[in-house]
Amino acid sequence: MNEAGGIERRDVRRLHPLTLVAGLGGVMRSLWGGLAAGAYFIVQQRWELAALIVGATLAVGLLRPLIRWLSFSWELGPDEIEMKSGVLGRNHRSIPFDRVQDVNVEQNVIARLLGLARVKLETGASAGDKNEDGVLDSIALADAEALRDLIRAHRAGDPVVMAADSDAPIEQAGEPAPVYAMDLRRLLLAGLFNFSLAVFGVLAGFTQTAGDLLGFDPFRRQFWLELGHAGQPFIAFILANRVVTALFGLATLVLVGLATGLLQTVLREFGFRLDRTETGFRRRRGLLTLTDVVLPLRRVQAAILATGPVRRHFGWTAVKLQSLARDSGHGGDHVVAPLATHDEADAILREMDWRPVAHADDWHRPSPAYVIVFLLFLVPFALAAAGAAYLTTDWHLLLVLALLGFLGITRILAWRRHRHRLDGDRLLVRSGFWRQRTVILPLARIQSIDLKRNFIDRRLGVSNLVLGVAGGSGFAHHGVAALPHDHALDLRDRLLDPVR
Amino acid sequence: MSDTDFSTLDHKLSEAIDPARPLLPPGMEPAEPAYRWLLTTQLLLTWLPFLVGALVIDNVVLADKPVQGVLSTIVGVLMIAIVLFVPLRIYRRLGFKLDPHLLRVVRGWLFHTDTMVPFVRVQHLDVARRPLDKVFGTASLVVHTAGTHNSIVTLPGLSPERAAAMRDEIRAEIRTDWQ
């Protein structure tokens, strides 16, 4: 049977030959060591050696992709895809369509010029190693789309649909309105909120230590002096006192931080569009590198509404879905809306047949032990820092105390935000001060429950519930902290109700 | 419901008579007594390198200094205290229970954890015997779920027969519809 993009079953196929061209940039990057060595010998005027090194590097560098291309083949079975690779050690991998978590079609700039696409089949296995999942790098875009439709149709439980009359791919003119999309204004706004605190911090430290070397230190008078003639009133005002100079330095760094966030956001989220398909969501985004992900709703483990103090003030939130597969680029939960109003977030949840988070007043707050236990664990560090400062008389160590105090304050703020609520067949958990998250976790997705208490918790009569949930990013676990012990036991029983 | 409240007079009395008596919520099975000695050996093996390191530092780096011997003494005393006090306390608080639909494991002294794993969520099971397990005649049952966190639940200190029997029991309950 002939598929839309010309994919035939039981037909051994290779990657697109132009893949070799598209990979040239990567090849050159991997060869720069050899080429640099060649350049060094050219400078030394040792021509034979230089020619030998450059020749050998190029030969190896160009042959390796060719051998890889020749040794790789893939074919479609009735309900699986098979990939064969390797020269010395042959590997034959088969991925059942049933186990594919999502299909990710990616195009970088070169691939777009050549009409190629990289297809990644996420299975959720070996989550740490990105190279280990099923990657076709690269095939023709039409083939990639046909393959995605094929796998998606299989998911719908109706593989026959994909036969002859499937010449109505999703991009056709009659495409229904998206569940969520970002216009340019929203995109730029998201960029502003994506203010890069990391870049700001790094730059601030950098100008303090290396600014002299580069001649870039907006905290110094000299920088502004050189920027214009000191006679101009504006510059003269800046130079008038150190405070103003420092303020302008700060403003410069803030601008750089804003620009970085804006650039990152525009590159990643440009043309963001979320559609409902018969089995789940389809997300397209990207300015230079286009990605096209199909996310089956059956595989969603939890929904996360993420926001921050500033964004929340203006009524914005991001919507993420946690599944076994990882989002490309982020390496965590799948972002289905980078910046949405509450109505838009609710609409997305409704499309999933999930109830929105309703207003309610039966949220439970954690006990003050949430803060006390944390502070008690900080005490040894504080004592050590104070002791060290006293012994070495290096009062910079007192900065550690300031840092610990800051941590304590953020913990108090987090405590004020933290709360949970059992909402029928799902658990809602709100947490965090700077990274505010509301997690919607269906009880049926809870894999295991730990009730943890350390020796301080026991004295204070509290317990922490830690929930095992599949997927998600490496460190953040879902759970409810610092519950009175009896409440924790009770909540655990109710969370386990569906499996009893 | 407070099923971990042990501060009763009755309990204190029995503790004085039998200090190795398991300290568990009602209805839970204790681990094999041999596990206590496995823990002791394990802690000894863990701390031995530190003691050797301290002795080396004392006799090489700190030789002929007034503080020579202090480090070794501290590490030695700490090691003896830990080996004497900790294994019994951990052993007494290690227990498990097979409910009709879930496995419950309680463990830990200073950092106590009470884990529940519904059988329907179990992905696969291991019965593991490390070298020390073989010496002391114990085994561990390892339960894997699909979770990223707490996805591995380990129940040590079982007799090999009991571990295998529990594995078979849970295996019979597993259904494959965790999605």
* B33-59 pLDDT per residue, tens: 999 999 999 999 999 999 999 999 888
CATH match for B95-173 among 1.10.3210, 1.10.287, 2.60.40, 2.30.29 = 2.30.29
**Contact check, Cβ <8 Å, A324/B146:** yes
Q: What is d(CA B126, CA B163) in angstroms, rounded to the nearest whole number?
A: 9
Pairing, β B122-128 against β B139-145: antiparallel
- For residues A110 and A235, membership in a common domain is answered with no
Give me the number of domains chain A comprises.
2
DSSP string, A24-67: HHHHHHHHHHHHHHHHHHHHTT-HHHHHHHHHHHHHHHHHHHHH
CA distance A471 to chain B (A): 6
CA distance readout (Å), B159 to A357, B20, B37, B93, B163: 48, 18, 14, 17, 6
- What pLDDT does B107 receive? 93
Q: Which of A268, A290, A311 is the last residue of a domain?
A: A268
Residue A114 domain-assigned (yes or no): yes
Q: Are residues A155 and A213 in the same domain?
A: no
Q: Give me the residue from B112, B153, B179 closest to A453, CB to CB.
A: B112
Name the E strands within chain B.
29-30, 95-98, 102-107, 111-118, 122-128, 139-145, 152-158
The total of other beta-carbon atoms located within 10 Å of residue B19's CB is 9
Q: Which residue of A lies nearest to B151 if distances are taken between CA atoms?
A: A468
List CB contacts (< 8 A) between A452 and chain B: 111-114
Cβ burial A94-121 (10 Å sphere, 16+ → b, else e)? ebebeebbbbbbbbbebbbebebbbbbb
Torsion of CA B155, A463, B117, B23, to 10 degrees: 40
Nearest CA in chain A to B113: A452
* Chain A residue with the nearest C-alpha to that of B117: A448
Domain range annotation of chain B: 29-92, 95-173
Inside any domain, residue A436? no
- Pick the residue of B2, B103, B125, B148 with the most A CBs within 10 A to test the interface with A by mutation: B148
pLDDT at A3: 41
Coil/strand/helix, residue A129: coil
HSE-up (13 A, CA, CB side) for residue A450: 24
Name the residue range of residue A45's domain: 19-162
Residue A447 and residue B151 in contact, taking contact as beta carbons nearer than 8 Å: yes
Chain position carrying tokens 């109830």? A355
**Residues of chain B falling short of pLDDT 70:** 1-17, 147-149, 175-179
Residues A72 and A155 in one domain: yes
**What's the rounded Cα separation, in Å, for the pair A68 and A107?**
20
Same domain for A91 and A139, yes or no, is yes
Domain's final residue, options A222, A239, A268: A268
Residues A146 and A223 grouped into a single domain: no
Query: In this structure, are A201 and A158 located in the same domain?
Result: no
Instruction: Tell me whether residue A352 is exposed, middle or buried, using C-beta atoms within 10 angstroms of its C-beta: 0 to 12, 13 to 18, 19 or more.
Output: middle
Q: What is the pLDDT along chain A (500 residues), one digit of tens a residue?
A: 334 444 555 578 888 888 887 777 777 777 788 888 888 888 888 888 888 888 888 888 888 888 888 888 888 888 888 888 888 777 788 888 877 777 888 888 888 888 888 888 877 654 444 455 678 888 888 888 888 888 877 765 544 333 333 344 444 445 788 899 999 999 999 988 887 666 677 776 666 665 554 455 666 666 666 666 555 666 666 666 666 777 877 888 888 888 888 898 999 899 999 998 877 888 999 888 888 888 888 888 899 999 988 888 999 999 999 887 666 555 568 889 999 999 999 999 999 989 988 888 889 999 999 999 999 999 999 998 888 888 887 777 788 888 999 999 999 999 999 999 998 899 999 998 888 999 999 998 888 899 999 999 999 999 999 998 887 765 668 889 999 999 999 999 999 988 77
pLDDT reported for residue B1? 40
- Specify if A308 maps to a domain: no
Residues A95 and A149 in one domain: yes
* Chain A: closest CA distance from residue B135 (Å): 31
Q: With CA atoms as reference, report the closest residue to A145 among A255, A282, A264, A47.
A: A282
Chain A residue with the nearest C-alpha to that of B108 = A454
Residues A89 and A216 in one domain: no
Q: Is residue A83 part of a domain?
A: yes
Q: Is residue A470 assigned to a domain?
A: no
- What is the secondary structure of A426-439 as a DSSP string? EEEEEE-SSSEEEE
Pairing of strands B102-107, B95-98: antiparallel
Looking at the complex, report in whole angstroms how far the Cα of residue B179 sits from the nearest Cα belonging to chain A.
6
Q: How many angstroms separate the CA atoms of A16 and A137, rounded?
A: 8
Domain with residue A90: its CATH number is 2.30.29
Does A492 reside within a domain?
no
Residue A1: predicted pLDDT: 38
Cα–Cα dist B113/B97, whole Å: 14
- The answer to whether residues A491 and A469 touch, using CB atoms and an 8 Å cutoff, is no
Q: Do A499 and B101 touch (CB under 8 A)?
A: yes
Report which of A488, A354, A91 is spatially closest to residue B114, judged by C-alpha positions. A488
The Cα–Cα gap between A270 and A182 comes to 8
